[in-house]
Copies of this chain bind each other. A is one copy, B any other.
Amino acid sequence: MFDSKKYFSKRLGSMEGSAIRDLLKQAGVPGFISLGGGYPDPKSFPSSLFDTLNQRVKNKYGNGVYQYGKTEGFDPLLQILPQFFQRANRKVKAFPDTISITTGSQQALTMLGMLFIDPGDLIAVESPTYLGAIQAFNPFGPKYIEMETDENGIVPENLDQLLTKHPSIKFMYTVSTFQNPTGKTIPPERRKQIATLLVKHGKLAIEDDPYSELRYEGVPVPSLQSFAHDHVIHLFTFSKTFAPDFRLGGIVAPPDIRNASVMIKQGLDLCTSNHDQAMVAEYLSGNYLDPHIKEIVALYKPRRDCMMKAIDTYFPSIFQHTCPEGGMFIWVSLKEGISLEEEKLDMKKILLETVSQKVGFVPGSAFFARKDHSPFSMRLNFTNQTEENIEKGIEIIGKILQKHLKL
């Protein structure tokens, strides 16, 4: 067999298959309770609408909709999106020509990595941060600096120090609302402070917001972009509301960045499906989003509540968990001041054992950009399992933790 590996690029060394992906594989086994992954429940998809929307698309656009489309996006969707961005959970300043449609918001991360990152460039990320962003940025060879976070996300004082100490930072990356993996939301006052710091230091932020529609309680928070639209690139997706399979997301950005990102997308996949964009345009213009969100909230809120209660019940008391007001994830870590012997701090070993009992989660270490430290922690997803399964899964993990930690 001819050895092709010798021709692989050097960047392959910095890339690795993800824990997420391996978990997706487990999740296919019948009876497996996956609290890993970041999947919506297929019950949440507005599939009873699909035929209606499809018929409207057909009537309006005919065959032509299946042709290659414009790289920046399908006009009727670009026209209606600014209205979507006015929702209280975004308040994003956007015009049709500051939006660029992407094949899922994952593609937006690759486009921005390609646009900004030269090998060795410094990128500031939350600690922990979204694993998929790291995967998208890594091929371009950045170095990561971790921004300190507390229960309200990024700590402005620390960010100020970081930006002062490292003036070469290219951009900061944040999932500002219902963060993946922690579920944390940066409060408005703090967003304002962060925006002020961006202006003060002349820096850019990428604000990745896949989750803000999924709010189960509390008051909607305007985007970071709303406080400094020249300095913030805002990402959105319909994967958590409409359905992941439509692979529909996008970028809102100042013109130079938006135009360069469109040029980059040409090389990546030419264009995103017109038909799928037309479906989402009909979904938005038909005012289906609001009632649909209500249904999603009714499905997910009890699951979140159930998971928090189950953790309180079944996990050893040395653990704490976040109480996210929305989104898809709960983050479990050791309570402050708790320390354990080194040999107990092996979350992968615990995962192997829960998997053998058909329960999955993602070890927290997967979400730290720098591998030299990562607290004993886990990310739990509550959107794609019934309450019964959530309780059962958490009970199993809890017992294994008890046993492993000899508590």
Chain A residues within 8 Å of B, Cβ to Cβ: 1-5, 7-12, 15-18, 21, 24, 37, 39-40, 42-43, 45, 47, 54, 62-71, 103-104, 106-107, 109-110, 114-118, 121, 132, 135-136, 138-140, 170-171, 199, 202, 204, 230-231, 239, 243-247, 254, 256-257, 260, 263-264, 266-276
Contacts and interface: CB of A to CB of B under 8 A. Distances in A.
Contact of A270 (B7, B40, B104, B271): B104
Contacts of A139: 114, 264, 267
Contacts of A266: 17-18, 21, 132, 135
17 contacts: A2-B199, A2-B202, A2-B230, A7-B116, A7-B170, A7-B171, A11-B114, A12-B115, A17-B266, A21-B266, A45-B63, A54-B54, A66-B246, A68-B244, A132-B267, A247-B272, A269-B269
Contacts of A263: 15-17
A237 to B, nearest CB: 11
Give the interface SS of chain A, mostly helix, strand, loop or mixed.
Answer: helix
Max count, chain B CB within 10 A of own CB: residue among A12, A16, A63, A118: A63
B118 A9 contact: yes
Contacts of A254: 1-2, 4
A-B CB proximity, top 3 nearest: A135-B267, A66-B245, A66-B243
A89 to B, nearest CB: 23
Contact of A42 (B4, B67, B170, B275): B67
Given A116-B8, A230-B2, A63 B39 contact: no
Contacts of A63: 42-43, 45, 47
A292 to B, nearest CB: 14
Contacts of A138: 267
Contacts of A171: 7
Nearest to A6: B202
A283 B7 CA distance: 37
A100 B325 CA distance: 39
A263 B263 CA distance: 24
